[in-house]
Amino acid sequence: MGMTISNKRRLWLHRYAIFAALWIVALIFFGAQVKSTSSGLSVPDWPNTYGHFMFSFPWEKMVGGIFWEHSHRMIASIAGLFTFALTVATYRIDDRKWVKRLSLSASIAVLVQGLLGGLTVLFYLPTWLSSSHGTLAQIYLCIVVSVAVVTSPRWSDAPATSPDGGRISLRSLVLATTGVIFLQLIFGAVMRHSDAGLAIPDFPTMFGSWVPPLSDARLAAANHELRDLGLLWKRGMQDISAAEMFSHVLHRAWAVVVTIMVLWTVIRVRRERAEAAIRRPAFLLLGLLAAQVTLGILTILTEKQFTVASLHLLNGALTLATSVVLSIQVRHLLRDPNRDAVPVHQGRPRVAVPSGRALEADEVGA
Ligand code: HEM
């Protein structure tokens, strides 16, 4: 049977959303390289580049840090245009109100993101602003990925088929896992933008000990050792503060929490014998987590080789996006068996009707 025109348009909307998501993945990598190569202020003005309009800045001057900072800006501006087009296309092609709103929120996210990026330059990269810029980038990616998921031809509004049992439902578990991963991204961003990524140079031990160096005496000894190792020069020889050391320890400790949550989720997905739309993102999540921990350890052992650090950030974004996809699919396809059950002793049973209005039982003669 041939495809109707409206189905064809929807398929193209879905494909375009995937393309936009891939563009944003590339954008995040370039953004990560700006920080990893300390190129953040190599273009001092914004929105212009050395007084030039962004797209007429001469190519031969794209050297060193300017290459990363300026290409990040250009790729970001194009991502903005792609995203506005995605929103317009969604409004024209998809008739579900919530999908339109979701797509609109992607455009709002990219606008705010661009503004935050510009402000980081104008305010000389304060930690809180750079960390917010890093975090919103990941939210933005997740929104566009969500648009791609819900516009897929395989997405159907048919009622859920599989039940979701257990004391803690998989529906809740996937949300908790996504929340835990999101927190880890924030902890990572704060650590990275306060230049505390190498506050502890060894792994899994911490200055040769299993106890985190959080006491005053240990912190002083740690700073002494970092000075000897030459690991403070990137931060203008400034000592690691107690809060910065804490942020580093927190990121390492939280990785254990992330690992437990992801393992728990994957085991539950296996046990539920869930369908492929759920199994696939769950196993991908497990693979991405393994890569993420490996890249995190390598970031430390290579003393923050810049591509390794950027790949760790990029893979972190993919991990979060995959967890979001898993959450969407689980919440779409699995339903808590108790949710729709009629409570026997809690007043009159209610019957749902297609209009969305709930009828009282006596209205339908029950
Ligand atoms: C478990 C999952 C993990 C996730 C999801 C994660 C995520 C992230 C992200 C997103 C960033 C950068 C944030 C930003 O700049 O916006 C980051 C930074 C960092 N992470 Fe992780 N991470 C994980 C585990 C680990 C582990 C196990 C280690 C090593 C012990 C590690 C070491 C680091 C370091 C050193 C940085 C700072 C890099 C720099 O300063 O350039 N991470 N992490």
DSSP string over 289-356: HHHHHHHHHHHHHTT--HHHHHHHHHHHHHHHHHHHHHHHHHHHHEE-TTTSSPPTTSSS-EEE-TTS
Whole-number Å distance between alpha carbons of 271 and 274: 8
> How buried is 235 (Cβ within 10 angstroms: 0-12 exposed, 13-18 middle, 19+ buried)?
middle
With a 6 A CB cut-off, is 296 part of the ligand 1 pocket? yes
Cα 274 to averaged position of ligand 1 atoms, centre (Å): 31
| 358-360 and 350-352 strand pairing | antiparallel
The Å distance, Cα 176 to ligand 1 centre, comes to: 19
Which has more pLDDT, 237 or 79?
79
Place of tokens 């190498």: 198
pLDDT of residue 157: 66
With a pLDDT cut of 90, the percent of the chain lying above it is 71
Residue 181 beta carbon below 6 angstroms from any ligand 1 atom:
yes
Q: Percentages helix, strand, coil for the chain, rounded to the nearest 5?
A: 65, 5, 30
202 phi/psi in degrees, rounded to 5: -115, 160
What is the crossing angle of helices 127-150 and 306-333, to 10°? 40
Indicate whether residue 171 lines ligand 1 (CB < 6 A).
Answer: no
Question: Would strands 162-163 and 334-335 be described as parallel, antiparallel, or unpaired?
Answer: parallel
Q: Tell me if 31 CB under 6 Å of ligand 1.
A: no
362 pLDDT higher than 80? no
Q: What is the pLDDT of residues 255-292, one digit of tens each?
A: 999 999 999 999 999 988 888 999 999 999 999 999 99
CA 68 to ligand 1 centroid distance, Å? 21
Confidence check: pLDDT of 341 > 70: no
Name the average pLDDT for the chain. 89
The mean pLDDT of 204-223, rounded to a whole number, is 97
User: Cβ(65)–Cβ(37) under 8 Å?
Assistant: yes
What pLDDT score does 255 carry? Answer: 98
Protein residue with its CA nearest to atom 5 in ligand 1: 316
> Which amino acid does the sequence have at 118?
G
Find the farthest-apart pair of alpha carbons in the chain and give their distance in angstroms, rounded.
83
* Most confidently predicted of 226-235, 303-312, 346-355: 303-312
Give the span between the Cα atoms of 137 and 128, in whole angstroms: 14
| Residue 188 near ligand 1, beta carbon < 6 Å | yes
pLDDT of residue 61: 87
Instruction: Report d(CA 159, CA 243) in Å as an integer.
Output: 49
Per-residue pLDDT reduced to its tens digit, 180-210: 999 999 999 999 999 999 999 999 999 999 9
pLDDT at 124: 80
Q: How large is the average pLDDT for residues 35-56?
A: 89
Task: Say how many CA atoms lie within 13 Å of 231 toward its Cβ.
Answer: 21
DSSP structure class, residue 360 = E
Nearest atom in ligand 1 to 259's CA:
1
The residue whose CB lies within 8 Å of the most ligand 1 atoms, and thus the one to mutate among 251, 289, 311, is 251
Ligand 1 in reach of 321 Cβ (< 6 A): no
State phi, psi for 287 to the nearest 5 degrees. Answer: -65, -45
pLDDT of res. 2: 61
Q: Is 297 in the pocket of ligand 1 (CB under 6 A)?
A: yes
Count of C-beta atoms within a 10 Å radius of residue 305: 13
Q: Is the pLDDT higher at 107 or at 123?
A: 107
pLDDT, position 158: 64
Q: What is the pTM of this model?
A: 0.88
Return the residue matching tokens 């393994």: 290
CA–centroid distance, residue 148 to ligand 1 (Å): 27
pLDDT 10s digits, 291-334 = 999 999 999 999 999 999 999 999 999 999 999 999 999 999 88
Q: How far apart are the first and last CA of the chain?
A: 43
Angle formed at CA 126 by CA 110 and CA 30, multiple of 5 degrees: 45
Question: Residue 359 — very low, low, confident or very high, per pLDDT cuts 50/70/90?
Answer: very low
Contacts 24+ apart (CB under 8 A), 88-94: 89/13, 89/16, 90/13, 90/147, 90/151, 93/6, 93/9, 93/10, 93/13, 94/10, 94/13, 94/151
314 contacts 208 by C-beta, under 8 angstroms? no
